[in-house]
Structure 1
Amino acid sequence: MPLKYSHVKKRSASGLMKKTTNNGHGARDGHQRQSISSHVDRSITQAMAAVSQLERAIARIFLKRYEHDIARLFSTHLFSVALVHLPTLAMRCISIGGPGWVAYNADCEEIKDFFRLAISMDMRQAGERVATKSVLWSYTALRDFALSNNVHVCQRRGLHSLRLLPHYPALKAHLDQLESMPTPTFSKPPHLGPLTEGLDALEEACQLKYGDQVTSKSHGASDWDDNWRLKVRLGYERLCQTLWRVAREFDVRGYGMVLREKLTAKWCDCGCSTDHLGEVCEKTVREDEESSGIRPGKQREWDGRGSGIYGWETEEEEDIWEMDLDFGSSDSDEEDACSNSEMTIGEMMEWRYFAAEKEKELGNAAFRQGDYNRAVKHYEVAHDMEPEMPHYQLNIAAAQLKLNNWMEAEIACTRALGQHRSGKGYYRRAKARKMMGNTEEATKDLRAVLKLQPCNTEANAELWSLIPPEPTVSASSSSYATSSSLNNASLRPLALSNYSHLRVPKSKFKQPPFSRTKGDDRKIKIVLLPTTVELASSRSPCGNRAKAKRKAEGTDVKTETFAVPNWEKYVIRQVAD
């Protein structure tokens, strides 16, 4: 080879041939490696997607069963309320209006508003009381499903979700069955029977207090005639019916925010949610099985009812609202701020509500002064403290309406209505939607107001302004109707029931089978009794132990009072005509 080409051979031997080899076999090897890598990546991606899909299905199953557990357990609680507390309420009303008062006024707004306040406070605790048991019950059912399919359950860490991956179709079928069920609502548990004990207690109390009038042969002007038992019985039954109707205004899907966030945000994508769950539940399940054995029929729990393990439609159904909330711990900011106060969970919840109410009062003061922006800020702080109390969102909506922030007001009302379908929520959202030009949706909201409050004159007037009455008068009287009736805004709400196209609801109860007396027309007012909260000089909350310690040290402990709606601490007063 000529000398001038000698460098080419060297380059070919050392460089070009290697480049050619890389572009030849090397390229094929690279392509093969790329193909393998792509295939492996695709397999991993598919596996991760399958695991994520499984996790989401399991989380959704827990969530749906949790909603059913809230509805079922709270219905049991309401049964206890009707059995224990409603006879006292009826007796206090009877002392003002007579034996027939409750039968005529069981669905008056004063009583319904009292029910709404008390139920709202109880529902505030729903997440605290139901979540732990519901998760344990659902885990037990899921664990039994795994064991029945020969899926290994670790003795220490419990069930791992990955082992359920081959059984995803069965889990998805169970989830579909749960989601096809109607939204759970509150209703009287049929297996608990009639409220005979409550009625007997009410009749006995009437007999003891009004014995002379009841046994007297000459009743005279007294309301205690021979039909007093019928009046008392009908009044108590209607009071119980009103309780269930008001309870159905609340939506179980709006409560239990902490568990709901975990199920929808934290347990779905980690790939081992049920493994974490097993660490919590497996020990409890095994201890229960060792102490009481495996309950016969436990295998039937995996049937789509969304029920807990214990007491489904049995007399052993527990009322978990009777339990003290003095267990476990909380990660809330309030506990971190007052960790030295040694407060129980019940005391912390009491303090949290008190602090939220103080913020609401500051917002109300700013609202009265016309400073609506500051009012919104206070209401938002109150809502952040107590996110499961819907009335703070209603306060936000009221301030936003004053600021002409229609969209923000609509959003706040929608959030509140997601927990409690209240007349205020529908009415304020109707006003916001009307101002945004959404007349059709505003009309639906106003009809919802009238379904809850048939005598709401403001909603009547608003609905009348959105939907003009149908012309039903004759030609000869049309001029008179136009001039005197249809144009008189003050008379429109009174005549609203004459227009069937507005679909205004009627009273839920029929006329009682006895004559109305003067006492049945009396008006009452239910006044909540205040609760005392003891604070340190720094306005921090004090637990029971901290109170004793501060008093022993001579440290100042201030007291403040505020009203907490409940079924026991209230008085009933007659409203002067």
Structure 2
Amino acid sequence: MPAKYSHTKKRPPSAPKKNGNGVQLKKDHRTPNIHVDRSITQAMSAVSTLERAIARILLIRFENDIARLFSTHLYCVALLHLPTFVMRCISVGGPGWVAANADCDEIKDYFRAAIGMDLRQAGERVATKSVLWSYTALRHFAMSNNVPICSKRGLHSLRLLPHYTSLKAHLDSLQEMPAPGFAKPPHLGPYSEGALALEEACESKYSKTSVHGDWDPEWRQKVRVGYDRIAQTLWRVAREFDVRGYGQVLREKLTTKWCDLREDEEESGVRPGKEREWDGRGSGVYGWGTEEEEDIWEIDLDFVSLEPEECDGHETDPEMTIGEMMEWRYFKAEREKEQGNVAYKRGDYEGAIARYKAAHQIEPEMPHYQLNMAAAYLKVQKWIEAEKACEAALGQHKSVKGHWRRAQARKAQGRIDDAVKDLRAVLRLQPTNPEAITELEALLPPDPIVPAPPTKSRGHTSSSSTGAGSSSSSKSFDPAPLNSRILPRGKQKRPLPFPRTPTDDRKLKIACLPMYIDPKGKKSLMSALKNARTNSDMFPYPSWERYVISKVSD
């Protein structure tokens, strides 16, 4: 069983059947010859087609559930955590710093790290509930069409076969919908509570005395503008992530394993793997699309401990909760990544690739392991493998490194047009990236020589202004360079509604605090800070609560 769902209890193998005298009966493995009975072949094909359509419905609804529920989570982040973040920034940079720098790379990189860490949990937090919701919808559909539902084993897909046309029409409508993304839920209100809490905190802490001298009389407007702009930055960064790249375990289950025929089917025709998913638990959905909808990221996953046989070797503890197990997986992956970095620095690129692959297998929903793998592939000139690694990472997050390294791989393969597309994508994410600008200018064709336009002068047209008697008032023609016209144009930043001050130009650094895992396997947060300088098991753990903001010395 995959580590992501190791907390799911395994169904014990069914006991062998016995006759009345207690003698074990041998199972008859003889099956009908589908090559002789064509009706059986057609029936099996029809059921397979139906179940693949159902699996596809579950998968698309799962993607939409991740987008919807994670958007609710981000709304809570903006309401609860961003006011504290703004407070910490203005305590170092001044009341107008956030408004002036809300779109800077330092803030966006921190948001990317924290969002990526949260999204790796999307599969665990959404999968079970999403399948339950989708099953509820299918159950209601079955009941409305008088399809019988077993009280013990729930709804069997075979009974939906006469209604395949309707299910296929529903699937087609789902597939025509735009790809799900992250956006502020329309049913949730503005961030007025967060803005009010931020103002009250600023007033109580900085209105009378300030480390910067007299507190700015326009601080209230500056703080409000900063909070509003940084909330918009949060959503812009979130839209860089592709929801379809997450929930890999359930995705694999729905696209392959769930639909595979099994040789160990019972005589009843119910597949053992289906009994857990079609068990009749569809009992209503609370708060769908309303303000009462639960934020499942606030629910602890520590509801069950692991069975001894499910522990990952001697390093883990049987008493670990699911939340601790998720953190342990991350640290194991980071250990592999660090070993890969060591191998990369000493020039052992094949060894680094092996380590990065191991990290990705442990945490398949953290894209930076694939990006590290791509960098190593580029070193050994495996261009196709590097491109595939970048594509896997970009399927989760549209990052600067992903597009840059894929551009290098595509350039090495002679695919200049594709490389140019990636470089433009880099500049859309980071308009001032000097390497991308230099590389793009080198790959683009030279600017054409554009002749000056003819000038009109009193009844005749002159194509030259150098001869005697020509109009000296004609302006020289300076065509825009081709490169500047085809580079992606960034959006113009909105001007500040107040004058900029010298403190707004300060450079701040946002550093995520490390987390500690002791070698015996039990997790402990900053309790081991005294060992942080010497212990190799300290790794940055991006979080909305554990970070430090400091001023960069000039």
TM-score after normalising by structure 1: 0.78
Q: Secondary structure at the match of 1:192?
A: coil
| 2:522 corresponds to | 542
- Choose between structure 1 and 2: higher helix proportion: 1
Structure 1 residues 517-558: Cα deviation after superposition (integer angstroms, max 9, x where no partner) = 10111111111111121222xxxx1379xxxxxxxxxxxxx9
| 1:341 CA drift (Å) | 3.3
Which residue does the alignment assign to 2:216? 224
Aligned to 1:411: 388
SS of the residue aligned with 1:315?
coil
Structure-1 separation of matches of 2:63 and 2:98: 33
How far apart, in 2, do the equivalents of 1:475 and 1:56 lie? 63
- Letter of the 2:128 counterpart: T
1:179-194 maps to which residues of 2 (within 5 A)? 179-194=175-190
Q: What residue in structure 2 maps to residue 34 of structure 1?
A: none
Which residue does 1:509 correspond to in 2? Answer: 493
User: What is the distance in 1 between the residues matched to 2:492 and 2:553?
Assistant: 27
Cα pair 1:136 1:281 within 8 Å, conserved: no
The aligned counterpart of 1:323 is 299
* Correspondence for 2:460: none
- Tell me if 1:70 matches 2:54: no
Q: Distance in 2 between matches of 1:70 and 1:532?
A: 29
- Residue aligning to 1:131: 127
Deviations 1:224-283 (A, max 9, x none): 12x322211111111011111111111111111111111011112339789854544645
CA distance in 1: counterparts of 2:57 and 2:258, whole angstroms = 12
Instruction: Give the structure 1 partner of residue 55 of structure 2.
Output: 59
For each residue in 1:102-144, what CA deviation from the matched residue of structure 2 results, as whole angstroms up to 9, or x when unmatched?
1111010010000010011101000010000000000011011
One-letter amino acid matched to 1:184:
P
Alignment partner of 1:381 out of 317, 333, 358: 358
Whether the 8 Å CA contact 2:333–2:362 is kept in 1: the answer is yes
Counterpart residue identity of residue 178, structure 1: L
Match 1:399 to one of 376, 382, 386: 376
Q: Verify: 1:262 aligned to 2:253, yes or no.
A: yes
Measured against aligned partners, the alpha-carbon deviations of 1:335-384 in whole angstroms (never above 9, x if no partner) come to 24146532111111111111111111111111111111111111111111
How far residue 471 of structure 1 moved from its aligned partner, in angstroms, is 3.9
Task: Supply the distance in 2 between the matched residues of 1:412 and 1:234 (Cα, whole angstroms).
Answer: 40
SS across alignment from 2:537? strand
User: Structure 1 424/334 Cα, relative in aligned 2: closer, same or farther at 3 Å?
Assistant: farther
Farther off after superposition, 460-469 or 57-66:
460-469
Counterpart AA for 1:367: Y
TM-score w.r.t. length of structure 2: 0.82
Paired amino acid for 2:313: A
The structural deviation recorded for 1:98 is: 1.3
Could you report, residue by residue, the CA deviation over 1:29-87 in whole angstroms, capped at 9, with x for unpaired residues? xxxxxxxx999622111111100000100000000000000000000000000001111
* Larger Rg over CA atoms: 1
Residue 245 of structure 1 corresponds to which residue in structure 2? 236
Structure 1 residues 207 and 331, CA gap change in structure 2 (3 angstroms): same
Distance of aligned partners of 1:473 and 1:576 in 2 relative to their CA distance in 1, 3 Å threshold: farther
SS of 1:58's equivalent in the other structure is: helix
Provide the rounded CA distance (Å) in 2 between the counterparts of 1:527 and 1:118: 11
Task: Check the 8 A contact 2:517/2:523 in 1, yes or no.
Answer: no
Residues 1:38 and 1:361: Cα distance change in structure 2 (over 3 Å): closer
Match of 2:422?
Answer: 445
Letter in structure 2 aligned against 1:337: G
Describe the SS at the equivalent of 2:251: helix
Q: Tell me, in whole angstroms, the C-alpha distance in 2 between the residues paired with 1:411 and 1:332.
A: 37
| Contact residue 258 and residue 273 of structure 2 kept, 8 A | no
Q: Which amino acid aligns with 1:411?
A: K
8 Å contact from structure 2 (residues 427, 436) kept in 1: yes
Structure 1 residues 161 and 502, CA, compared in 2 at 3 Å: closer, same or farther? same
Indicate conservation of the 8 Å contact 2:333/2:360, yes or no.
yes
Deviation (angstroms), 1:333: 9.5
Pairing partner for 2:170 from 157, 170, 174? 174
Question: Which range moves more in the overlay, 89-98 or 56-65?
Answer: 89-98
Cα distance in 2 for residues equivalent to 1:375 and 1:403: 11
SS of the aligned residue for 2:181 comes to coil
Corresponding letter in the other structure for 2:113: L
CA shift in 2, pair 1:100/1:197, >3 Å: same
Paired AA for residue 236 in structure 1: Y
Q: Which residue of 2 aligns with 1:156?
A: 152
Unpaired stretches in structure 2, ≥5 consecutive residues: 1-32, 263-268, 454-479, 525-534
**Where does the alignment leave 5 or more consecutive residues of structure 1 unmatched?**
1-36, 289-294, 296-308, 477-495, 545-557
Q: Aligned match of 2:81 in 76, 81, 85?
A: 85
1:423 aligns with 2:396: no
Match 1:284 to one of 278, 281, 285? 281
1:332 and 1:377, CA in 2 relative to 1: closer, same or farther beyond 3 A?
A: farther
Match of 1:310 in 2: 286
2:413 to 418, 432, 436: 436
Structure 1 residues 514 and 498, CA gap change in structure 2 (3 angstroms): farther
Contact 1:160 1:278 in 2 (8 A): no
Equivalent positions of 1:475-514 (< 5 A) are 499-507=483-491, 509-514=493-498
Could you report, residue by residue, the CA deviation over 1:303-356 in whole angstroms, capped at 9, with x for unpaired residues? xxxxxx332321011111111112357799972414653211111111111111
Distance (whole Å) between structure 2 residues aligned to residue 329 and residue 449 of structure 1:
44
Equivalent AA in structure 1 for residue 238 of structure 2: A
User: Counterpart in 2 of 1:357?
Assistant: 334
Answering whether residue 456 of structure 2 is matched by residue 456 of structure 1, we say: no
Partner Cα distance (1:563, 1:310) in 2: 37
1:400 positional shift? 0.9
Name the counterpart of 1:111. 107
CA distance in 1, matches of 2:56, 2:276: 20
Q: Answer whether contact 2:125 2:296 (CA < 8 A) is retained.
A: yes
